[in-house]
Structure 1
Amino acid sequence: MAAPSLATVLRNLFVVLGCGITATVVYTIATDGLPFRKQLLTPWMAATLVDFYINILVIGAWIIYKESNWIRAIIWIVFLVCLGSITTCGYIVLQFFKLTPQESMQDPIYFVLLKKDGTESKGKLSVVGARVLFTVLGCLMLGTLIYTIAIDGSPFRQQLFTPWFSATLVDFYVTVFALLVYLNANSSILQLYFLTSGLGGIQRIKLGKCSSLDHFVYLPWQCDDVRVPCATTIPPLPARSRISYCFQ
């Protein structure tokens, strides 16, 4: 019996994760009511929400990049803000279902990440804007973490883990897992910067020479031997070709 393809494994995994977080939210509402209560917004809950929505912003930027129709992109973003990783899992599963059999067998992560129409995103301003934005967000999260520790102490206390705080953590780590799927394909340098410096670490990548955000999506496909200038238009690749971009 043939082993399941990577596309099938990832698709089924995100289906399970989506069902899991949906069940978690439904159970928490049933046992603890709705989350829109002031007493739930403790300092560490607020810090977790800031961290969560920074990650959601990354997923949202990818959705905007993927969707050529702005109305459809806005609808997805609204669902993403309201439902968090439930939407994340649903969107990723949908992208896997859109793969052709050939794409699924070659390199499903590559084809899920990239636009189907092959068009590039909007010029250098998007890259400069992303670099500045993620630097600010990284600093914001670091400041939030330091401030919360200063006023509320360590988060490793049992009384903090209310039903909704626990559900938020589950939601948060499902989104983190989705981001790690991308990082797993990426270079060790990017992983190091991302994990040690948070989202602000993206600023350390040399995005300034790239013509668009498409080049950032291509970062996982790199090689020590082949180096293509970032200003070069990137052709569709039939499979993972391990070409290095933006690390000049």
Structure 2
Amino acid sequence: MLSFRVSLPWQQYLLVCLVGKSVGAMASSLVIGLRSVFAVLGCLMLATLIYTISIDDLPFRKDLLTPWMVATLVDFYINVVPLAAWILYKEPKWITAILWIILLVCFGSITTCAYILMQLLKIPSEENLQDPMNYVLLRHPGKDDTQQKRNHSSVVTLRILFIILGCLMLGTLVYTLLTDGSPFRKELLTPWMIATLVDFYINVVALSVWVYYKESSWISAMIWIILLISFGSITTSVYIALKLFQLTSQDPIYLVLLNSYSGYRHGIYKETIVTKQIQ
């Protein structure tokens, strides 16, 4: 095998180095920022949970299950589904994936923040200089990519699943509005409703980070995030279903996680110098 570098004028080489350093610094800042955000959000939810238990006892009571609380819980757990699906894909062992999903169902956004923070802390320095989101989203990027491409999940099944989940939440919302009126009433803001909303919107933050990364335009990203904040899991389901419809039935499902500029999407990995190889 013969390998040689493509020679570049020193001015172009200097420009490439400066751009590379700038991108690396931005990526490092992004990782540090995300670590800080999810650490703070996890602590916020833990404090909210402890405080709510101390003033309003445990949540396992029938009197708490008002129509809007039930609708909020449905909304919350539909948003948990894509997070759980990501964890199931991300974890190499079924048992660890199942344990994380059980923790996600039981402790909500505390688990979300802990899991994402753990993935961010695992980023090696060389990934820090490129696209850290690829490392966080994908399972063993680069090392196990061939296996990922061969293990095609059912895109069609997931399309149907998220369409059903979106319709379920839309039906729940319409039914609750018809039977219990508007949700914008003070009497609905019980301690456990507030805690559930905090839990819900911390998960929305995690989903919003992914939406912002995935969208090619910050304007479209902001529109989707506003819809996500306003309509919750209806938007989540519609967004994921639309992205799944952009894949063919033969595409590996992990492509839905990536944006259109990702090197992993196009089969390009850790290329740091321009080389030609002749065998």
Matched, 1:145 2:145: no
Alignment correspondent of 1:235: 267
Percentage identity across paired residues of the two chains: 48
Q: Match for residue 245 of structure 1?
A: none
Aligned: 1:202 with 2:202: no
Deviations 1:113-168 (A, max 9, x none): 11113331775552111111000000001000000000000000000000000000
In structure 2, runs of 5+ residues without a counterpart are 1-24, 272-279
Q: What is the SS of the residue equivalent to 2:171?
A: helix
- Contact kept in structure 1, 2:84 and 2:101, CA below 8 Å: yes
Are 1:120 and 2:120 an aligned pair? no
> Displacement of 1:5 after TM fit?
1.5
Indicate yes or no: 2:147 matched with 1:108: no
Cα distance change of structure 1 residues 151 and 39 upon mapping to structure 2, 3 Å threshold: same
Residue 65 of structure 1: aligned partner: 89
SS at match of 1:172: helix
Task: Find out whether 1:221 has 2:268 as its counterpart.
Answer: no
Matching residue's letter, 2:252: S
TM-score (norm 2): 0.75
If asked which structure has higher relative contact order (CA below 8 Å, sep 6+), I would say 2
Partner of 1:41: 65
Question: 2: CA distance between counterparts of 1:161 and 1:42?
Answer: 11
Matched residue count: 230
The 5 A counterparts of 1:11-30 are: 11-30=35-54
CA separation of 1:84 and 1:233: change in aligned 2, threshold 3 A: closer
Q: Is the 8 A contact 1:28 1:167 kept in 2?
A: yes
Q: Deviations over 1:69-88 (max 9, x none)?
A: 00000000100000000000
Alpha-carbon separation, structure 2, partners of 1:121 and 1:82: 32
Structure 1, unaligned runs of 5 or more: 240-248
Q: What is the distance in 2 between the residues matched to 1:18 and 1:52?
A: 16
Contact 2:153/2:253 (<8 A) preserved: no
How far apart, CA to CA, are the structure 2 residues paired with 1:190 and 1:210?
27
AA of the residue aligned to 2:261: Q
Q: For residues 112 and 233 of structure 1, what CA distance do their matches in structure 2 show?
A: 14
Give the number of the structure whose alpha-carbon radius of gyration is greater: 2
Q: Distance in 1 between matches of 2:86 and 2:222?
A: 18
1:5–1:105 Cα contact (<8 Å) kept: no
CA distance in 1, matches of 2:247, 2:221: 12
Amino acid in the other structure paired with 2:246: K
Superposition pairs for residues 70-219 of structure 1, below 5 Å? 70-116=94-140, 117-118=144-145, 119-120=147-148, 123-187=151-215, 188=217, 195=227, 198=235, 199-204=237-242, 205-218=245-258
- Which is worse superposed, 195-204 or 6-15? 195-204
Letter in 2 for 1:146: V
Coordinate RMSD, CA, aligned:
2.6
Aligned-pair CA distance for 1:104? 1.8
Secondary structure at the counterpart of residue 154 of structure 2? helix
Deviates more, 1:98-107 or 1:173-182: 98-107
Q: Deviations over 1:159-209 (max 9, x none)?
A: 000000000000000000000110001225687678386213432332334
Give the CA deviation at 1:68: 1.2
Q: Which amino acid aligns with 1:154?
A: S
Work out whether residues 138 and 200 of structure 1, in 8 Å CA contact, stay in contact via their aligned partners in 2: yes
Deviation at 1:222, TM superposition (A): 3.2
For 2:30 and 2:193, the matched residues in 1 are separated by: 33
Q: Is the 8 A contact 1:135 1:202 kept in 2?
A: no
Secondary structure of the structure 2 residue equivalent to 1:154: coil
Equivalent position amino acid for 1:135 in 2: I
In the alignment, the residues of structure 1 paired with residue 222 and residue 43 of structure 2 have an alpha-carbon distance, to the nearest angstrom, of 28
